[in-house]
């Protein structure tokens, strides 16, 4: 695609697709959704990060900055390939069709994908083995670390790496060799699961691209403390000699929280990264552009300056702002990859240095329509103020649905909506979609919940809540051709 041509699309994470195993996957339902996008004349499918999730099931807290989530592997495709049979699938009670029951899903799917990986290890043909070896060679820079980490983590009952035996926690040479030998078959199994994941993903992406649809991916700024990256590459983080963080990530107190948000992710040792030419970061962005056509950088403001909280603090109050070398980092990425299509997530309290970093690199920022109709304060989220180089959303995964937001809005805010544009109060989500599509922003995106006219019960996430979210799925049969045709008409009217 041109860097940012006038276009539109839908935000829907893979986990939110229907499917018989209780969670969306990379199989038939994902291809069916692409077919719906084709009918709807959409050019973009935006998803959340695809990483191997841990505690809390958040796609923004993953065990690797590079690995895919094995729970997204499609079981029916593994059956078609002969790595599983229907008789491998235990009898199970039907899953909830409108939300992911992560505990049950993880238990069932991990059991099945591990059986499939073991069969592959035992029975793969020479050609299949050769394909796997090529995958390992192409991805060895991160795959070996991730598979080793995942195997050792499993060995220690899924405890975080800093609770492992000291010698392997510190990656002492003899301990590394001992565990690599002792867990060789488990390490291979985790590599095979990544091979399955990436094979299925690239088939899905090829189908989307062949039909004129680009995938918008999402890269979390920070990685999880409990991750292969933090364990294997401690030098790129603010760690002390015992591998404990010295400072961790968060955001300061603001209008929404008087204690701020303490995320707890390790912070980058930017001085060290600068000395390496930002190699780890450049490799990470490259890997993401193998997966996606466009990339959204989450918490972009952290590339200008970041809130650093001393490790062990109970809240984010006692942090300090520290500068980050965002300009040099983006220059290094561009030197390696050219002028790639990146969206800057520039929400929240944004300072001039963040705006300068965004604008000097000609990166589109984000405009959220729900934020526009706060009648108490002037803001730059009203569509008549948008620059062309921006991405307008009716809402994101962190917002309520349009209907949920509108139902909770004050009478004054509802009146402001009516005063600003001719909204249909009985069809508010589609009125907002139409307003977004009509704006001058180069890109317009709506979460699928707004297409389906869903309320707050279908919210994907509530920032600051560590668990209990990320569960929403759309119910099979609720997404129709009529909706696609209606969206296609709006898309044609506004030349997207």
pLDDT, tens digit (0-9, with 9 covering 90-100), for 389-427: 999 999 999 999 999 999 999 999 999 999 999 899 999
Specify the residue for token string 């930002």.
278
> What's the whole-number mean pLDDT along residues 223-228?
96
Is residue 467's pLDDT more than 80? no
pLDDT by residue (tens digit) across 29-57? Answer: 999 999 999 999 999 999 999 999 988 89
* Between residues 467 and 419, the one the model is more confident about: 419
pLDDT by residue (tens digit) across 118-134? Answer: 999 999 999 999 999 99
Is residue 2's pLDDT more than 60? no
Q: Where are the domains of the chain?
A: 7-141+199-228+262-306+322-493
Q: If residue 261 lies in a helix (H) or strand (E), which one and from where to where?
A: strand 261-266
Instruction: Return the bridge partners of 68, or none.
Output: 51
pLDDT by residue (tens digit) across 133-166? Answer: 999 999 999 999 999 999 999 999 999 999 999 9
> What's the whole-number mean pLDDT along residues 229-234?
98
pLDDT by residue (tens digit) across 430-456? Answer: 999 999 999 999 999 999 999 999 999
Is residue 428's pLDDT more than 50? yes
- Active site includes 398? yes
Instruction: Return the bridge partners of 237, or none.
Output: 268
Q: What is the 3-state secondary structure (H, E, C) of 131-199?
A: HHHHHHHHHHHHHHHHHHHHHHHHHCCCCCHHHCCHHHHCCCHHHHHHHHHHCHHHHHHHHHHHHHHHH
Query: Given this model, what pLDDT does residue 331 score?
Result: 97
Specify the residue for token string 């600068």.
274
> What's the whole-number mean pLDDT along residues 301-329?
96
Is residue 316's pLDDT more than 80? yes
What is the chain's mean pLDDT, rounded?
A: 95
Name the catalytic one among 101, 355, 374, 398. 398
The answer to whether 198 and 68 are in contact (CB under 8 A) is yes
Is residue 471's pLDDT more than 90? yes
Query: Given this model, what pLDDT does residue 256 score?
Result: 67
pLDDT by residue (tens digit) across 71-118? Answer: 999 999 999 999 999 999 999 999 999 999 999 999 999 999 999 999
> What's the whole-number mean pLDDT along residues 193-210?
98
Fold annotation for 7-141+199-228+262-306+322-493:
TIM Barrel (3.20.20)
Which of 445, 433, 266 has its CA nearest to residue 343? 445
Query: Given this model, what pLDDT does residue 454 score?
Result: 98
> What's the whole-number mean pLDDT along residues 190-213?
98
How far apart CA 285 and CA 345 sit, in angstroms, is: 16
Is residue 181's pLDDT more than 60? yes
How far apart CA 304 and CA 323 sit, in angstroms, is: 6
pLDDT by residue (tens digit) across 245-284? Answer: 999 999 998 766 789 989 999 999 999 999 999 999 999 9
Query: Given this model, what pLDDT does residue 72 score?
Result: 98
How far apart CA 152 and CA 135 sit, in angstroms, is: 22
Name the catalytic one among 99, 226, 229, 298. 298
Query: Given this model, what pLDDT does residue 258 score?
Result: 87
- pLDDT band for position 1 (cuts 50, 70, 90): very low
Name the catalytic one among 293, 345, 346, 400. 345
Pairing of strands 7-11, 443-447: parallel
Query: Given this model, what pLDDT does residue 390 score?
Result: 97
- pLDDT band for position 231 (cuts 50, 70, 90): very high
How far apart CA 179 and CA 148 sit, in angstroms, is: 8
- pLDDT band for position 468 (cuts 50, 70, 90): confident
Cα angle vertex 291, ends 289, 295, to 5°? Answer: 50
- Active site includes 298? yes
């Amino acid at each position: 695609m041109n860097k940012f041509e006038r276009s539109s699309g839908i935000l829907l994470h893979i986990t939110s697709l229907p499917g018989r195993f209780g969670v969306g996957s990379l199989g038939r339902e994902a291809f069916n959704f692409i077919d719906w996008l084709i009918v709807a004349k959409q050019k973009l499918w935006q998803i959340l990060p695809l990483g191997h999730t841990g505690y809390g099931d958040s796609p923004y807290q993953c065990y690797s900055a590079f690995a895919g989530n094995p729970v997204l592997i499609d079981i029916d495709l593994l059956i078609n390939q002969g790595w599983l049979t229907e008789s491998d699938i235990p009898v199970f009670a039907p899953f909830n069709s409108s939300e992911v029951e992560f505990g049950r899903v993880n238990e069932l799917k991990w059991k099945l994908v591990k059986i499939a990986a073991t069969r592959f290890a035992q029975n793969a043909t020479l050609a299949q083995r050769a394909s796997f070896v090529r995958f390992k060679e192409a991805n060895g820079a991160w795959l070996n670390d991730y598979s080793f980490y995942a195997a050792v983590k499993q060995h220690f009952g899924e405890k975080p790496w800093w609770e492992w035996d000291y010698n392997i926690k510190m990656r002492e040479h003899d301990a590394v060799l001992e565990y690599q030998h002792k867990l060789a078959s488990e390490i291979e199994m985790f590599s095979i699961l990544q091979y399955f994941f990436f094979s299925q993903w690239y088939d899905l992406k090829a189908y989307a691209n062949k039909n004129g649809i680009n995938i918008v991916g999402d890269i979390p700024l920070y990685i999880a403390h409990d991750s292969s990256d933090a364990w294997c590459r401690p030098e790129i983080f603010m760690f002390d000699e015992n591998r404990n963080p010295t400072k961790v990530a968060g955001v300061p107190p603001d209008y929404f929280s008087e204690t701020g948000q303490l995320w707890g992710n390790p912070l980058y040792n930017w001085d060290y990264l600068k000395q390496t030419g930002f190699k780890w970061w450049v490799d990470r962005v490259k890997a993401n552009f193998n997966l996606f056509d466009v990339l959204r950088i989450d918490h972009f403001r952290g590339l200008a300056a970041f809130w650093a909280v001393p490790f062990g603090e109970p809240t984010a109050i006692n942090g300090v702002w520290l500068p980050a070398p965002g300009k040099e980092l983006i220059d290094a990425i561009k030197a390696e990859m050219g002028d790639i299509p990146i969206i800057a997530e520039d929400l929240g309290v944004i300072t001039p240095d963040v705006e300068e970093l965004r604008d000097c690199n000609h990166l589109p920022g984000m405009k959220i329509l729900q934020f526009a109709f706060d009648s108490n304060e002037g803001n730059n989220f009203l569509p008549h103020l948008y620059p062309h180089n921006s991405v307008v959303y009716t809402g994101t995964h962190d917002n309520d649905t349009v209907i949920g937001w509108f139902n909770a809005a004050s009478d004054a805010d509802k009146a402001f909506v009516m005063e600003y544009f001719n909204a249909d109060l009985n069809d508010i989500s589609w009125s907002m979609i139409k307003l977004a599509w009509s704006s001058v922003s180069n890109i317009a995106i709506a979460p699928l919940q707004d297409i389906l006219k869903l309320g707050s019960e279908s919210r994907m996430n509530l920032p600051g809540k560590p668990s209990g979210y990320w569960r929403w799925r759309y119910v099979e049969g609720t997404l129709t051709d009529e909706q696609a045709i209606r969206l296609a008409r709006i898309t044609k009217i506004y030349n997207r």
